[in-house]
Structure 1
Amino acid sequence: MSRRTEEEASVAGAEAFRGAVFGAAKWGLIAGGLGAVGYFLSPIYRGLTVQFKVYIQLSGMTFGGWIEADRRLRAYEFHARREKKRQNDEAVWKRWEGMIEQQERREQEQKQEKG
């Protein structure tokens, strides 16, 4: 694995980790709010064991972390691919500019030789 690939993988992993933390916090708040609503409105939810309530809360956090990590990783990959394509297009453009400049110089040299 090349150094560049290792760095790209490391940056992608860090972005996925940030997404997972954000998603777990966001969905944890949502699950906690729903748990509070369930506690006040549902005798069934109130009757659940603490362990099962914690399981429900952690399941929401895990799901949210997974979804957000995947979303951020896909967005990172999209932007990385787009940046690579832009760099490749820029390199092709510079090559074409160089070829055109060489052609213009040759034409000027030919004109000077004739003139």
Structure 2
Amino acid sequence: MVREHGSLMKDAETNQAAWEAAKGAAYGGVKWGAFFAVAGGVAYAFSPLYRGLTVQFKTYIQMSAMVFGGMIEADSRMVKYQLAVRQQKKLQTDMAAWRAYEKEFEEHGTPGVASESNVARK
């Protein structure tokens, strides 16, 4: 659905998607940052090449890993969120169609069609 008018700041679904992406980015940054911190320590211990790098370049490598991990995890969470929202909306439309179908049968006087307990013959 394309939004033509209105503020995206007031849309609850957009805000929820943004929060999911932000949580994914933070989690991915921490996870990949920790992994590269450990990998950097191992590389420092065993690689004379890594020891020769400047602090600025090591920081750049660490930050690059954190940003990359944040992007990967944010995208992953957005895909999962989008799938969940699609499933929820499909369930809602299917339930609305089913309710209309049940109502049509009830109007014709068929008892016991609806799944609710308040079905009675008119």
TM-score normalised by structure 1 residue count: 0.87
Matching residue of 2:76 = 71
Q: Secondary structure of the equivalent of 1:104?
A: coil
* 1:8-31 alpha-carbon deviations (Å, 9 max, x no partner): 111000000000000000000111
Matching residue of 1:112 = none
Structure 2 residue runs of 5 or longer lacking an equivalent are 111-120
Moved more, 3-12 or 36-45: 3-12
The Cα shift of 1:104 comes to: 1.5
**Structure having the higher Rg:** 1
Structure 1 residue runs of 5 or longer lacking an equivalent are 110-115
Q: Where do residues 37-76 of structure 1 align in structure 2 (5 Å cutoff)?
A: 37-76=42-81
Runs of 4+ aligned residues of structure 1 deviating over 3 Å after TM superposition are: 1-5
The Cα shift of 1:76 comes to: 0.3
Matching residue of 1:91 = 96
Say how many residue pairs are matched. 107
Over aligned residue pairs, what C-alpha RMSD do you find? 1.9
The Cα shift of 1:2 comes to: 5.4
Q: Give the percent of matched residue pairs that are identical in Structure 1 and Structure 2.
A: 44
The Cα shift of 1:6 comes to: 1.4
Call closer, same or farther: CA 1:3–1:85 in 2, change over 3 Å: farther
In proportion to residue count, which structure has more helix?
1
TM-score normalised by structure 2 residue count: 0.82
| Aligned counterpart in structure 2 of residue 34 of structure 1, from 27, 35, 39 | 39
If asked which structure has higher relative contact order (CA below 8 Å, sep 6+), I would say 1
